Amino acid sequence: MRGASQAKWVVAAVAVALAATACSSGGSSGSSGSGAVNAQGVFSYQSAEPQNPLQPANAMENQGGRITMQLFKGLVDFDPTGKPRNQVADKIETTDAQHYTVTLKSGWTFHDGTPVTAQSFVDSWNWSANVKNNQINSDWFKDIAGYTDVHPEKGDPTTDKMSGLKVVDDTHFTIELTGPVSYFQYKLGYVAFAPLPKVFFTDPAKYGQNPIGDGPYKFVSWEHNKAITLASYDKYAGVDKPKNGGIVFRNYTQADAAYKDLVSDSLDVLDQVDPTDLASYKNDLGDRAVDQVQGAIQNISFAMYQPEWQGVDKAKVRQGLSMAIDRDTITKTVLHGSRQPADSWVAPGALGYKAGTCGDFCKFDPAKAKELIQAGGGVPNNKITIVYNADGGHKEWVDAVCNSIRQSTGVDCLGDPKPDFKTARDIITKKQVTSMMRTGWVQDYSVNANYLRDVYGTGASANDAGYSSADFDKLAAQADKATTVDKTADLYQQAETQLAKDMPAIPLWYYKTNSGYSNNVQNVKFDNVGNPVYTDVEVKQK
Amino acid sequence: MPDLIEKTADVPAQGATEPKPEKPRSLGSDAWHDLRRRPIFVISALLILLLIVIAVAPSLFTSVDPRAGDLRNHFLTKPNYGHFFQPDWFGYDGQGRSIYARVLYGARASVVVGICVTLGTTILGGIIGMFAGYFGGWADAVLSRITDVFFGIPLLLGALVILNAFSTRTVWSVVFAMTALGWTQMARVMRGAVITVKQQDYVTAAKALGAGTGRIMLKHILPNALAPVIVVATIALGGYIALEATLSFLGIGLQDPTISWGIDINSAQKVIREAPFALFFPAGMLSITVLAFIMLGDAVRDALDPKLR
Amino acid sequence: MGRFVIRRLLQMIPVFLGTTFLIFFMVHMLPGDPVRAMWGDKAVDPAQLASIRHNLGLDKPWYEQYLTYMGHLFQGDFGTTMGNRKVLDVITEALPVTVRLALLAFVFEIVLGVTIGLFAGLRRGKSFDKGTLILTLLLISIPVPVLGFIFQTVFATQLRWVTPTVQDSMNIGQLVLPALVLGSLSLAYVARLTRTSIVENIRADYIRTAVAKGLPRRKVIGTHLLRNSMIPVVTFLGTDLGALMGGAIVTEGIFNVKGVGNALYHAINLNEGATISGFVVVLVLVYLAASLIVDLLYAVLDPRIRYA
């Protein structure tokens, strides 16, 4: 019942806040100078209904993921620039990048008051990795020794504990990996590695509707299809103590509806500005508009598994096609400046990002493009199609890219929309694409390895292009064995140059965070993957 | 508003002043004779003819490639209303393409979808509604319940299933899917009209005179039940052209390189704040088409109605 | 009449069976794998994929899934969604919202549509009639999102009478704006159907008789003309009520209303046979009830129509 009464309290607070804005808003936008702050103030954020119960290892999609990340904190997390920082961990020590000793800080508690111990982590990871528990993120634990025992490729698990995890005492445990992973600490920042309280294991399904974590916010209520409400946790022991009283994740099915609410101060923080309002949002919002680069990239990839794309010379054709795309104009016009032209396969901000690895091949040059395409023997059938999902707002830029290719090279180019993401995905994973497909990558952790090995390594499961390069794989293997993350990043940077030579995917642009906030809040910043820094948001005093 | 009824009731229908035809004519030829003299019919027929000419040969009216976009110079360039029949007459769209050219080239797919789906649903729904309404009883129960089942299928689900079955989608697959999912309303409207008409004295009289079922249906019931069907069909025509756009938007409708008003109306909605003109012209063409067919429908209905004579 | 109604109610059984069967078959035909889509662009672990599919019962053939569903349904269990929610909960959340929205739109199109159609028909060929035609054309050719956009801009952003979106989907007052948008196209149908019907009947013998008898104008129009002109309108309204209840994905999205359209859209997106069937079963019951009422109204409007 405690949860319910809290929910009422928060809802009442929101109602009061809304009523107050309705009275006070004189229509003056841009008056976001710092005023008195209400530390108990609650703000609303544009969200959508999470697909899965709110459990750390089940939060793959964005909506559930960002809420779970406020409810849970693991050993480390990322600061707004994407650098890892210790949270529950006091230190994580290793000499060989394979064996780790973790020391926890004391004083961390779950929202039900029980302490966060080494056992909370080990139990959580063992449970989440178990194939029987059907957690989407289960394969995040695959580096840990003994993973295949709880998560065999076929059949039932032989045990429910991974041999690589050992509890020493309440504040110490050890991790043994199957091999060195120099950026394991970055991986640990992923929310799947959060601890779980004892109460979780009594009824996981019920828990997912009413989660208890150790993060800066505690769960208050989940009104399906309407809102999820969190309140700040006053015993939170992390470095990022909330400066507000809570968050209401308000459910919107259409981004332009959320935008209209933001402009009229009915909503406080926006996720992304919808395409219709991109051209004018800076005008509408003044200095409350946000525009910054995000750790995500948009590519179009070739179906390298089709015989007609496999010849050695075809690399020239692919490079030519890349040069036929006028990225600058398209991002400025069709995309209203919501993307930044790409010149590499790794988004800026990630460790190991190097500008210009794509070189001249990412610069618009119709004459050179034609030349290269001819030198490579031309495009098969002189026609390409780009498979994409129609429910993702991609049509405009796919059409623009095709126009650009058609007009600068004479190669016919058509968008090939599939009704929804799952349908497009089905065709792509079954390797049934005939020439090209839209691919995108949002970083899991801020290291170039994530953009490269997971997407272009031979047989990597996100390698939609079916690309395979012995040189790339060799460098990647070396990079994975490196014992420091800087070394790894360096070697991957070398591997990236191979992509420019083979061009299995054409980098188009990096995503940007185009967002904004209402007159009710201030100090709204966004991190490098486009989420607001929730804990820093300040609600103005009424 | 006094004596309104009397007034309107006494206004003779335009062109229906012919006092005595030389020889008795059938209802059909009578209607045709009557139609040719109605200005409203002539105007709508000319409009439709023009639309058909545009649909068949859009290149007669412009030499510009409707797919050629110039983003650098023509991104959402405003219309130049003085430049009649020039590429920039209606401005340029969000891909830097001439809206004038696209409106012309979009006519083919849109008019074909609009007319064919309207014909398809009217014929299919009309037949089912006619049988259900005329025979009643078990025939009505079975046909009407089948209609209910089809009516229950969410449009999105039905369209996804049907259109995804086609490996390459053409105008015809879109027409097929929309007809398969859209006939139910027409069946209901026809059934309702037939139920009313079949109670009329002249139907009873025809039955008493021993007229066959087919003859009664075609000669007596159909012409008198047609009015609501025509109204619904002419409005639905516009709805189908717009629905095609929704299907394209969902990725299961027409696709590049096919051009249609619906697709352009849809993409123009994304730039409505900056460039309302991009929406205005394709939507305007849709209006003109619907207007032409509503006027045609009105004229045909009047011509078929013996009471107006 | 009583037997007629009972027979109608019994017909619901085959319709119910046919509809659910058809829905499950169609869901089976939907492209794509919703479980695979949970991973987005990311790498998928095949063992986990198989395990989740098994857990959701998706590894079984579709007819087996159908039989399981029907078995549970007879025990009052509508099944669960992929996110492990009870389908019945999803339905009971969305349906009241849509009922409110649909009824508002319905009342709006009846009152306004019939009134406009009546006057346009009485003044056939006059400027009011022509104005009605133009209004109809506008309503047909303005896409729903644009109409919604205009309404939001005028009433919310400029006049500030309402918030741009619906903050509480159960609040009737807030649903007025979306209801106007939702009912606008049907308004065009109702107005034109009424007009045509009036024009047709105004010359009927019984009207001439009534006028000749010296009945007051109001009575001639009300009891004779309008009543006899209503049959096609009622037919249309019967189908339209069903269509409105089926939810409006576009309108609901514009105004952030959480009704049936939104719920169905998500269910179709996730290939959730149980959820879609649950909704469609409820909707088909509504259609059956609506068409029964329409048929009964025929008999009321035109006494010559009799049902055995």
Which comes out higher in pLDDT, residue B13 or B257? B257
Q: Determine, for residues A422 and C40 on separate chains, whether the beta-carbon distance falls below 8 Å.
A: no
Nearest CA in chain A to C265: A253
- Under the banding of pLDDT at 50, 70 and 90, the label for residue B24 is low
Does C80 reach chain A within 8 Å, measured CB to CB? no
pLDDT surpasses 60 at A414: yes
Answer whether residue C243 is part of any domain. yes
The pLDDT assigned to B8 comes to: 39
- The shortest C-alpha distance from C18 to chain B (Å) reads 7
pLDDT surpasses 90 at A510: yes
Nearest CB to B256 within list A276, A279, A415 = A415
The pLDDT assigned to A61 comes to: 67
The DSSP bridge partners found for residue A351 are A447
pLDDT tens digits for range B263-280:
898 888 888 888 999 999
Domain total in chain C: 1
Q: Which residues contact C18 (CB under 8 A, 6 or more apart)?
A: B145, B149
The pLDDT assigned to C245 comes to: 86
Nearest CB to B301 within list C19, C196, C207 = C196
pLDDT tens digits for range A80-130:
888 889 999 999 999 988 999 999 999 999 999 999 999 999 999 999 999
Q: Which residues contact C202 (CB under 8 A, 6 or more apart)?
A: B5, B8, B9, C121, C122, C225
The pLDDT assigned to B308 comes to: 56
Separation CA A104–CA A90 (nearest Å): 5
The pLDDT assigned to A11 comes to: 40
Mean residue pLDDT of chain A comes to: 88
- All domains of chain B, ordered by start, with CATH? 47-56+92-308 (1.10.3720.10)
Pairing of strands A172-176, A521-522: unpaired
Separation CA A399–CA A416 (nearest Å): 10
Does B98 reach chain A within 8 Å, measured CB to CB? no
Token pair 């801009």 is found at C153
- Under the banding of pLDDT at 50, 70 and 90, the label for residue B306 is low
Contact status, residue C110 vs residue C187, Cβ threshold 8 Å: no
Does B135 reach chain A within 8 Å, measured CB to CB? no
pLDDT tens digits for range C161-209:
888 888 887 788 889 999 999 999 899 999 999 998 898 888 888 888 8
Contact status, residue C59 vs residue C221, Cβ threshold 8 Å: no
Answer whether residue C95 is part of any domain. yes
- The shortest C-alpha distance from B106 to chain A (Å) reads 17
Separation CA B47–CA B289 (nearest Å): 8
Q: Which domain holds residue C144?
A: 90-258
Separation CA C90–CA C262 (nearest Å): 11
CATH of domain A292-513: 3.10.105.10
What CATH number is associated with residue C168?
A: 1.10.3720.10
Q: Which residues contact A99 (CB under 8 A, 6 or more apart)?
A: A174, A175, A176, A177
The pLDDT assigned to C187 comes to: 93
Answer whether residue C294 is part of any domain. no
pLDDT surpasses 80 at A319: yes
Residue ranges of E strands in A390-496: 412-418, 436-442
Answer whether residue C9 is part of any domain. no
Using an 8 Å CB-CB cutoff, list chain A residues near B160.
419
Separation CA C188–CA C204 (nearest Å): 25
Q: Mean per-residue pLDDT for A206-226? A: 91
* Residue-by-residue DSSP string for chain C: -HHHHHHHHHHHHHHHHHHHHHHHHHHHHS-S-HHHHTTTTS---HHHHHHHHHHTTTTS-HHHHHHHHHHHHHTT---B-TTS-BHHHHHHHHHHHHHHHHHHHHHHHHHHHHHHHHHHHHTTTSHHHHHHHHHHHHHHHS-HHHHHHHHIIIIIIIS-SS-SS-S-TT-TGGGHHHHHHHHHHHHHHHHHHHHHHHHHHTTSHHHHHHHHTT--HHHIIIIIIIHHHHHHHHHHHHHHHHHHHT--HHHHHHHT--SHHHHHHHHHHTT-HHHHHHHHHHHHHHHHHHHHHHHHHHHHH-TT----
Nearest CB to C122 within list B8, B196, B238 = B8
Answer whether residue C13 is part of any domain. no
Answer whether residue C166 is part of any domain. yes
Percent of chain A with pLDDT over 70: 93
Percent of chain B with pLDDT over 70: 90
Half-sphere exposure of C199 (CA within 13 A, CB side): 28
Does B16 reach chain C within 8 Å, measured CB to CB? no
Answer whether residue C304 is part of any domain. no
Sheet holding A172-176, edge to edge: A89-94, A99-104, A172-176, A165-169
Using an 8 Å CB-CB cutoff, list chain A residues near B273.
276-277, 279-280
The DSSP bridge partners found for residue A412 are A383
Half-sphere exposure of A8 (CA within 13 A, CB side): 4
Answer whether residue C136 is part of any domain. yes
Nearest CB to A439 within list C41, C45, C156 = C41
pLDDT tens digits for range A221-262:
998 888 999 999 999 999 999 999 999 999 998 888 899 999
- Under the banding of pLDDT at 50, 70 and 90, the label for residue B18 is very low
Q: Where are the alpha helices (DSSP H) in B136-200?
A: 137-152, 155-164, 171-197
For chains A and B, count residue pairs whose Cβ atoms are closer than 8 Å: 71
pLDDT surpasses 70 at A536: yes
Using an 8 Å CB-CB cutoff, list chain A residues near C36.
422, 425-426, 429
pLDDT tens digits for range B115-163:
999 999 999 999 999 999 999 888 999 999 999 888 888 888 898 889 8
pLDDT surpasses 80 at A20: no
Which comes out higher in pLDDT, residue C145 or A356? A356
Half-sphere exposure of B305 (CA within 13 A, CB side): 23
Separation CA A207–CA C122 (nearest Å): 66
The pLDDT assigned to A28 comes to: 37
Does A417 reach chain B within 8 Å, measured CB to CB? yes
**C neighbour chains, 3+ CB pairs within 8 Å:** A, B
> What are the tokens at A58?
């089940």
Residue A129 burial by Cβ neighbours in a 10 Å radius (0-12, 13-18, 19+): buried
- State the fold for domain A8-270+517-539: D-Maltodextrin-Binding Protein; domain 2 (3.40.190)
Does B22 reach chain A within 8 Å, measured CB to CB? no
Using an 8 Å CB-CB cutoff, list chain B residues near A407.
68-70
Cα angle vertex A471, ends A467, A477, to 5°? Answer: 95
- Under the banding of pLDDT at 50, 70 and 90, the label for residue A411 is very high
Using an 8 Å CB-CB cutoff, list chain A residues near B70.
407
Domain ranges across chain A? 8-270+517-539, 292-513
Contact status, residue A224 vs residue A210, Cβ threshold 8 Å: no
Q: Mean per-residue pLDDT for B161-185? A: 89
Produce one character per residue of B203-237: b if its CB has 16 or more CB atoms within 10 Å, e if not: beebeeeeeeeeebbebbbbbbbbbbbbbbbbbbb
